[in-house]
Amino acid sequence: MPYKKLEEYNMQVTDDVKSRYKSIIEDLGENINREGLLKTPERAAKAMQFLTQGYHQDPVEILKSAMFKESYNEMVIVKDIEIYSLCEHHMLPFFGKAHIAYIPDGHIVGLSKLPRVIDVFARRLQVQERLTEDVLDCINDTLKPQGVAVVIEAAHMCMMMRGVQKQNSLTTTSGFRGQFEKIETRNEFLKLIGK
């Protein structure tokens, strides 16, 4: 029995994007009938749907699904969260780590929901600066904590593979709300994530 992978994709979108990829591959000078490329347009169409699925997900609902009343009011940190996104300028990947902290004010959230929120925003065409703000604002507006901090460190393939071609550069972005706007709290967070 042949291998069959079970995935769900919008078939109309898959067919439309597949035909566009086929044209792009041909326009670049490749033979679309070459064995290795026969299924590439469909694979690429499905990959793009997966990599941009954040447009169809609600990060607020993800957080609300696991909010719990709790009196804990000290810093909560989830660090070294892997991120993978596509730069909106060249549609090339950028990837790295995110660090999130919040200080609860009556509610905590299930820890797995914070990486899920990052994934929702990362699985859209993005710039790192907006990704940082999107995550920060979503957590701040939904949980209404005493403070939120987000730091993202990422390598950008648009800088590594083309353009300036700098292989070892990292971009760091950060955002702080509430108690994290105070230098002591911010420094504690940065020390705890090892920066």
Catalytic, out of 49, 126, 128, 179: 128
99 carries an active-site annotation = no
What is the pLDDT, as a whole number, of residue 110? 97
CA–CA gap between residue 178 and residue 49 (Å, rounded): 36
| 105 plus 38 within the same structural domain | no
Catalytic, out of 126, 146, 156, 179: 156
The reply to whether 58 falls in a domain is no
Per-residue pLDDT band at 195 (split at 50, 70, 90): low
What is the extent of the structural domain holding 34? Answer: 11-51
Q: What is the pTM of this model?
A: 0.91
Residue 36: CATH number of its domain: 1.10.286.10
- CA angle in degrees (0–180, nearest 5) for 78-76-128: 45
What is the pLDDT, as a whole number, of residue 137? 98
Catalytic, out of 30, 61, 82, 88: 88
If one compares 167 and 73, the residue with the highest pLDDT of the two is 73
> What mean pLDDT is reported for the chain?
94
Q: What is the pLDDT of residues 71-124, one digit of tens each?
A: 999 999 999 999 999 999 999 999 999 999 999 999 999 999 999 999 999 999
> Which sign, positive or negative, has the C-alpha torsion 156, 158, 160, 164?
negative
Per-residue pLDDT band at 4 (split at 50, 70, 90): low
184 carries an active-site annotation = no
| 38 plus 106 within the same structural domain | no
What is the pLDDT, as a whole number, of residue 162? 77
Name the nearest CA neighbour of 67 among 98, 111, 31: 111
Q: What is the pLDDT of residues 24-64, one digit of tens each?
A: 999 999 999 999 999 999 999 999 999 999 999 999 999 99
89 carries an active-site annotation = yes
> How many structural domains comprise the chain?
2
| 86 plus 114 within the same structural domain | yes
| 111 plus 171 within the same structural domain | yes
Catalytic, out of 90, 107, 133, 188: 90
Catalytic, out of 56, 70, 82, 89: 89
* Cβ neighbours for 41, distance < 8 A, ≥ 6 positions apart: 18, 19, 21, 22, 25, 32
CA–CA gap between residue 142 and residue 60 (Å, rounded): 6
| 75 plus 40 within the same structural domain | no
Per-residue pLDDT band at 22 (split at 50, 70, 90): very high
Residue 132: CATH number of its domain: 3.30.1130.10
Mean pLDDT in residue range 187-192: 96
Mean pLDDT in residue range 170-180: 97
| 129 plus 187 within the same structural domain | yes
What is the pLDDT, as a whole number, of residue 160? 84
